[in-house]
Amino acid sequence: MKRVGIAILGLGVVGGGAYRILTEHAEFFKKTQEVELFVQSALECNRERASALGFPQEKLASNIAEIVSDPDVQIVVEAIGGIEAAKEYVLAALHAGKTVVTSNKELYAKFSHELERAAKQHNAGLYFEASCVGGVPIIRTLLDGVQSNKVSSLMGIINGTTNYILTKMSEGMEYGQALCEAQAHGYAESDPTADVDGFDAAYKLSILASLAFHTKIPFAKVFREGIAKISLEDVADGEALGYRLKLLAIAKDTPAGVEVRVHPTFVKKEHPLASVEKNFNAVFLTGDAVGEIMLYGKGAGSLPTGSAIVSDVIFAATHVDNHYSTFKNTASAAQDVKFITDFSSAYYLRLTVDDVPGMLAKIAAVFGKQGISIVELIQRSACAGKATLVAVTHETHENAIKNSVAKFETMETVKVESVLRVAL
């Protein structure tokens, strides 16, 4: 039976989960996969953390050189996160001919071209299922499940922190309180910026769109907007209009070009994504042959993400050939790829206006000049001679909305409170 030695870099939440699965399921893998997987060593400076996992102290390495020079290590699992040390360690492993399995979405989104070049040079494997959507096998689906299709679009909830917060807000909880609760449950970091400002989802969308469309989609090309400015009033308005608010990652491959964007979006309550709640994730794919597919599950956590890591370990251990990107993986997009920034969508706008005769006509005139029509309009009285207008538009263009907002901001009688997109 084939024996494969593994080294784990970092025994935190993700690395610890992978270690548990590898050790607890070792006999199961022998029986079902006909491979003996054993953890040869780990790089972890926190010895108490290692002890709590039951990791043998004598197997703790002092530095990366010990691991990459060990002939009994064939696969290196990177689970330390961040960029500088992770990149250094991953490149060291690849240059030593070791296959690498990583959960690091920021590292892969920004530097996959460098990592893949090193892997090719030294005939090493490079696997990254755990970098996107936790335990949901979205990358394996794109690589080995729907390769008979031309995937035209991808839309999903790919960040559990923001989905938890927005779920709580739909129940009436204020943003700050929902964030604190997410942190208390371990769904959000003490510094939640990467999640709530949309960076985490944008890293993942860069990776997933590149795989789906077979062309490099750099992270810098992803339009990004987070949820930190979302108000409870907006969430309640959406609920009243039949929508749920989600931080969506959207990618489309169209004849006019590629659009990739992450932003808060209202989706109709009847849409499958509307029912994805709390820390769960889901990705909605459209292929020309298979039609629509949705993958759903836990997007983060020790065992779900550890599951994705170990799945990659098993795949690498049981496959001789290494496979790399189906496109030219460079730092930048190919010259013939056009990116659409003036994308189409419906929009939700909430305005505070002077409650005087003729105000609706003035608002309509601004929209009319940009070719924007309204599908739903709610007006409610506010205090001190003010009124709140909530409008949902028909499909229009991003620039048309931006031009309208710019005009409203020059009017003393109108204040733009919020602008959100609505999925069609």
Beta bridge partners of 87: none
Residues 75 and 112 grouped into a single domain: yes
364 assigned to some structural domain: yes
291 assigned to some structural domain: yes
Tell me the C-alpha to C-alpha distance, in Å, between residue 241 and each of 162, 392, 423.
21, 9, 13
Q: Can you give the CATH number for the domain in which 65 is found?
A: 3.40.50.720
388 assigned to some structural domain: yes
Residues 145 and 251 grouped into a single domain: yes
373-413 pLDDT, tens digit per residue, is 999 999 988 778 999 999 999 999 999 999 999 999 999 99
Question: Domain ends where: 115, 134, 153?
Answer: 134
Q: Can you give the CATH number for the domain in which 179 is found?
A: 3.30.360.10
424 and 345 Cβ atoms separated by less than 8 Å: yes
117 and 139 Cβ atoms separated by less than 8 Å: no
- The residue behind tokens 């020059």 is 410
Handedness of CA 60, 65, 67, 72 (dihedral sign): negative
Query: Would residue 204 show up in a list of annotated catalytic residues for this protein?
Result: yes
Of the candidates 318, 321, 390, the one whose C-alpha atom is nearest the C-alpha of residue 353 is: 390
Residues 119 and 147 grouped into a single domain: no
Question: Domain ends where: 72, 103, 134?
Answer: 134
Residues 190 and 240 grouped into a single domain: yes
Residues 160 and 272 grouped into a single domain: yes
Residues 90 and 188 grouped into a single domain: no
Compute the average pLDDT of residues 357-364: 94
In this structure, what DSSP letter does residue 25 have?
T
Residues 182 and 256 grouped into a single domain: yes
Question: Domain ends where: 113, 134, 155?
Answer: 134
Segments forming the whole domain that contains residue 127:
2-134
pLDDT at 278 over 80: yes
pLDDT value of residue 382: 73
315 assigned to some structural domain: no
In this structure, what DSSP letter does residue 217 have?
-
Residues 59 and 101 grouped into a single domain: yes
pLDDT value of residue 339: 98
| Mean residue pLDDT across the chain | 97
Q: Can you give the CATH number for the domain in which 365 is found?
A: 3.30.70.260
User: DSSP states of 256-313 as a string?
Assistant: TEEEEEEEEEEEETTSGGGG--TTEEEEEEEETTTEEEEEEEE-SSHHHHHHHHHHHH
Which three-class secondary structure state does DSSP give residue 132? coil
In this structure, what DSSP letter does residue 153 have?
E
Tell me the C-alpha to C-alpha distance, in Å, between residue 294 and each of 95, 284, 422.
37, 4, 20
324 assigned to some structural domain: no
CA 102 and chain centroid, separation: 15
Query: What's the CA gap between 185 and 165, in Å, rounded?
Result: 12
Residues 187 and 210 grouped into a single domain: yes
Residues 287 and 147 grouped into a single domain: yes
Total structural domains within the chain: 3
pLDDT value of residue 422: 98
Catalytic residue, candidates 168, 204, 246, 252: 204
17-56 pLDDT, tens digit per residue, is 999 999 999 999 999 999 999 999 999 999 999 999 999 9
281 and 272 Cβ atoms separated by less than 8 Å: no
